[in-house]
């Protein structure tokens, strides 16, 4: 403790580590990885690389005739966000809803991500929506991908959405027709669909992304992205048994939340596995458990909403009496957010600097535990050192897995630390260049994530053109412009369900559901009031954007700036360009939902204008 600054020393006389030294270590590790090209280091999975994203390895394409139809509502996207939108509309009695989905079934993320070990790290009782409505009991506290995919199908069946869906269909263009007050959509199957209302629910992680590594197009071996797992090549299924890899040298680039889950399976089955790691994940205990049917049967009606709200309250550092979920996520939040709660209960007694130092110390302690876990699990000293994350807990998505770390004790598993060169150096016909060496491979797997914070247009296959043919993406050129993240001026009868300028939660399905409830309310109101169109007012949109920017300007920007690069801080570009404007609603999802509920209760559709055209 002798090196600690006096402020630390006075506040925490008993610390067994030096917080200044840790701060400095975190800064060095961030600087080592910062790249001038930021998000431009990634390559769009398009043109020569389109097969990494567009090919569907799971369902053969079924030929069908092109369709020409006029419908009430088109929902683009059949993942949880689109499903929830359609379900909530049906619940309200809004009829004639059509869903368009690129995959061969519902599921979205859970249709595409079938890699071995895929699992949701959010508790299933919170994550799987409509459990009370559908009467389904999740098998485990943390569901694996097949069960989640099945649940999307269950929701589809329960709400009769299969009859309303066009699968294996991608929208090519959506344009507002002012004369008819309808959206016209065209698709890659030759369909022409006219709709009174359009809801875009294409999901935040629907486009796999690739690193722009020199030579990436040269590799002659087999290659795929984790979101299009090639079981034809690897053998086996979600539970493993990747028997066809027994004589293969396999490389995997990336060690994020996806890689953490599939690497144990690759390690078990590949002849040799080379893991190219730029930044280690924080890997905490998983500790999954079977659902107790007695406990489940005893839950009182309304339990799921209460549980989701409780989870969100704990994560946001709001007051709560009991932590219902009590898992890794809430443990982190309770410990690191403790100072915030103290501030509320002990207002006036703590200054802002003290609050932030307390939170930082709790974070250091948590991350010390994560690093100690690496030492306890990994016997090879060099690998253990490289697997330790040196950044604050919420700089990257925390991960939870009980098999990942021990995988590096296997003789056939080789950890290649590429942090010094800010990533893999190159790809050749035969393999990967890293740290001055060429590692020959039969198969190269990209666990390099998704386009989550790149430009909105890049993440959606099609253009959306509103009044006067204006592109949505031009309207959003300087950053998102919406009311509540859900609709924009110049785009009548248009809505989106997503992650920008609204209440954000790692429990994505809950936030999508809350947005779906709100959007379905608005559409229902338009119909009930006998109107033809509804549109966000320019002033209301401007005011919401200003509110988002104002609220985002606090300590969060500073926190992200100090983080190791990743998509949470736009690869280290936070604070630059549009990132403040594209922030979520900083007070959190519960506060956002309360705001939306008050808006609905007022019944005035404030900030939106209704119009009635008798002949439209």
Site string for ligand NDP, 421-440 (x = CB under 6 A): --xx----------------
Element (H, E) at 593: helix 589-602
Interface residue with ligand NDP among 124, 143, 202, 258 (CB under 6 A) is 258
Interface residue with ligand NDP among 138, 251, 398, 449 (CB under 6 A) is 449
How far is it, in rounded angstroms, from Cα 552 to Cα 586? 6
The answer to the question of residue 279 lying near ligand NDP (CB under 6 A) is: yes
How far is it, in rounded angstroms, from Cα 80 to Cα 477? 27
Taking contact as CB under 6 A, which single stretch among the options 361-369, 418-426, 528-536, 577-585 is the one that binds ligand NDP? Answer: 418-426
The answer to the question of residue 26 lying near ligand NDP (CB under 6 A) is: no
Q: Tell which positions 152-211 bind ligand NDP, by CB under 6 A.
A: 205, 211
The answer to the question of residue 466 lying near ligand NDP (CB under 6 A) is: no
Interface residue with ligand NDP among 164, 174, 259, 483 (CB under 6 A) is 259
Residue ranges of E strands in 301-420? 399-400, 413-417
Taking contact as CB under 6 A, which single stretch among the options 67-75, 82-90, 188-196, 273-281 is the one that binds ligand NDP? Answer: 273-281
Q: Which is nearer to ligand NDP, 103 or 254 (CB)?
A: 254
Q: Starting at the edge strand that comes first in sequence, how are the strands of the sheet with 413-417 ordered?
A: 222-225, 443-446, 249-253, 272-277, 413-417
> In 3D, which of 172, 55, 162, 58 has the Cα closest to residue 104?
58
| Closest distance of CB 227 from ligand NDP, Å | 7
The answer to whether 70 and 504 have CB atoms below 8 angstroms apart is no
| Closest distance of CB 396 from ligand NDP, Å | 6
> In 3D, which of 399, 265, 381 has the Cα closest to residue 332?
399
The answer to the question of residue 264 lying near ligand NDP (CB under 6 A) is: no
Q: Which is nearer to ligand NDP, 191 or 451 (CB)?
A: 451
The answer to the question of residue 387 lying near ligand NDP (CB under 6 A) is: no
- Strand, helix or coil at 228? helix
The answer to the question of residue 413 lying near ligand NDP (CB under 6 A) is: no
Q: Tell which positions 520-549 bind ligand NDP, by CB under 6 A.
A: none
| Closest distance of CB 114 from ligand NDP, Å | 12
* Integer CA distances (angstroms), 498 to 198, 250, 508, in order: 14, 35, 9
Q: Tell which positions 96-135 bind ligand NDP, by CB under 6 A.
A: 119-122
The answer to the question of residue 454 lying near ligand NDP (CB under 6 A) is: no
The answer to the question of residue 390 lying near ligand NDP (CB under 6 A) is: no
The answer to the question of residue 138 lying near ligand NDP (CB under 6 A) is: no
The answer to whether 490 and 466 have CB atoms below 8 angstroms apart is yes
Alpha helices in 495-537 (DSSP H): 508-528
DSSP calls for 406-439: HHTTSTTEEEEE-TTTTS--EE-SSEEEETTEEE
Q: 307 is written with which tokens?
A: 């549980």
Q: Which is nearer to ligand NDP, 72 or 288 (CB)?
A: 288
The answer to the question of residue 256 lying near ligand NDP (CB under 6 A) is: yes
Can you give the length of the chain in residues?
616
Parallel, antiparallel or unpaired: strands 182-187 and 192-200:
antiparallel
* Integer CA distances (angstroms), 216 to 9, 250, 428, 459, 464, in order: 50, 16, 7, 21, 32
Q: Tell which positions 554-593 bind ligand NDP, by CB under 6 A.
A: 566-567
Interface residue with ligand NDP among 276, 329, 390, 585 (CB under 6 A) is 276
| Closest distance of CB 401 from ligand NDP, Å | 10
The answer to whether 304 and 320 have CB atoms below 8 angstroms apart is no
Query: How many binding residues for ligand NDP (CB under 6 A)?
Result: 28
Q: Which residues contact 437 (CB under 8 A, 6 or more apart)?
A: none
The answer to the question of residue 389 lying near ligand NDP (CB under 6 A) is: no
How far is it, in rounded angstroms, from Cα 122 to Cα 507? 6
Give the binding site for ligand NDP (CB under 6 A). 33, 119-122, 205, 211, 213, 253-259, 276, 278-279, 397, 418, 423-424, 447-450, 566-567
């Amino acid at each position: 403790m002798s090196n600690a600054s006096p402020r630390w020393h006075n506040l925490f006389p008993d610390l067994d580590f030096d917080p200044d030294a840790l701060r400095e270590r975190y800064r060095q590790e961030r600087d080592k990885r910062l790249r001038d090209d930021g998000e431009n280091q990634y390559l769009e999975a398009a043109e020569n690389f389109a097969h990494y994203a567009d090919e569907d390895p799971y369902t053969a394409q079924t030929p069908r005739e092109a369709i020409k139809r006029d419908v009430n509502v088109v929902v683009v996207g059949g993942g949880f966000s689109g499903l929830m939108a359609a379900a909530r509309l049906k619940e309200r009695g809004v009829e004639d809803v059509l869903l368009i989905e690129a995959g061969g079934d519902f599921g979205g993320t859970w249709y595409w991500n079938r890699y071995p070990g895929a699992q949701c790290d959010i508790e299933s009782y919170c994550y799987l929506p409509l459990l009370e409505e559908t009467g389904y009991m999740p098998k485990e506290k943390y569901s694996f991908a097949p069960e989640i995919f099945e649940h999307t199908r269950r929701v589809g069946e329960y709400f009769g959405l299969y009859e309303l869906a066009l699968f294996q269909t991608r929208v090519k263009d959506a344009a507002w027709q002012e004369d008819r007050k309808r959206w016209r959509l065209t698709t890659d199957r030759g369909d022409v669909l006219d709709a009174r209302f359009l809801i875009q629910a294409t999901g935040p992680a629907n486009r796999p992304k690739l690193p722009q590594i020199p030579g990436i197009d040269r590799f002659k071996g087999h290659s795929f992205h984790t979101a299009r797992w090639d079981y034809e090549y690897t053998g086996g299924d979600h539970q493993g048994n990747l028997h066809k890899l027994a004589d293969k040298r396999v490389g995997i680039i990336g060690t994020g939340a996806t890689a953490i889950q599939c690497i144990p399976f690759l390690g078990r089955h590949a002849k040799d596995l080379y893991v190219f790691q730029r930044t280690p994940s924080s890997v905490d205990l998983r500790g999954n458990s079977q659902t107790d049917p007695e406990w489940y049967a005893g839950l009182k009606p309304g339990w799921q909403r209460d549980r989701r709200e409780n989870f969100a309250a704990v994560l946001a550092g709001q007051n709560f009496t009991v932590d219902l979920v009590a898992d890794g996520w809430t443990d982190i939040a309770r410990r690191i957010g403790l100072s915030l709660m103290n501030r509320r209960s002990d207002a006036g007694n703590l200054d802002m600097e003290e609050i932030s130092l307390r939170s930082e110390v709790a974070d250091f302690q948590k991350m010390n535990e994560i690093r100690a876990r690496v030492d306890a699990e990994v016997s090879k000293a060099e690998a253990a050192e490289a697997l330790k994350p040196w950044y604050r807990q919420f700089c990257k998505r925390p991960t939870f897995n009980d098999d990942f770390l021990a995988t590096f004790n296997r003789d056939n598993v080789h950890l290649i630390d590429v942090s010094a060169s800010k990533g893999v150096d190159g790809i050749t016909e035969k393999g990967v260049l890293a740290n001055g060496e060429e590692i020959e491979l039969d198969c190269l797997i990209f666990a390099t994530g998704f386009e989550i914070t790149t430009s909105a247009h890049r993440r959606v296959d099609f253009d959306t053109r509103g009044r006067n043919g204006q592109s949505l993406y031009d309207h959003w050129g300087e950053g998102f412009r919406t009311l509540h993240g859900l609709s924009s001026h110049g785009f009548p009868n248009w809505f989106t369900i997503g992650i920008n300028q609204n209440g954000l939660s790692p429990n994505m399905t809950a936030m999508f559901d809350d947005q779906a409830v709100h959007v379905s309310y608005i559409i229902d109101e338009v119909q009930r009031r006998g109107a033809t169109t509804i549109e966000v007012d320019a002033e209301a949109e401007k005011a919401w954007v200003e509110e988002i920017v104002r609220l985002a300007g606090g300590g969060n920007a500073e926190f992200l700036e100090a983080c190791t690069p990743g998509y949470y801080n736009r690869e280290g570009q936070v604070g630059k360009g549009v990132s403040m404007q594209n922030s979520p609603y900083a007070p959190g999802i519960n506060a956002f939902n309360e705001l939306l509920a008050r808006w609905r209760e007022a019944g005035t559709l404030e900030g939106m204008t209704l119009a009635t055209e008798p002949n439209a």
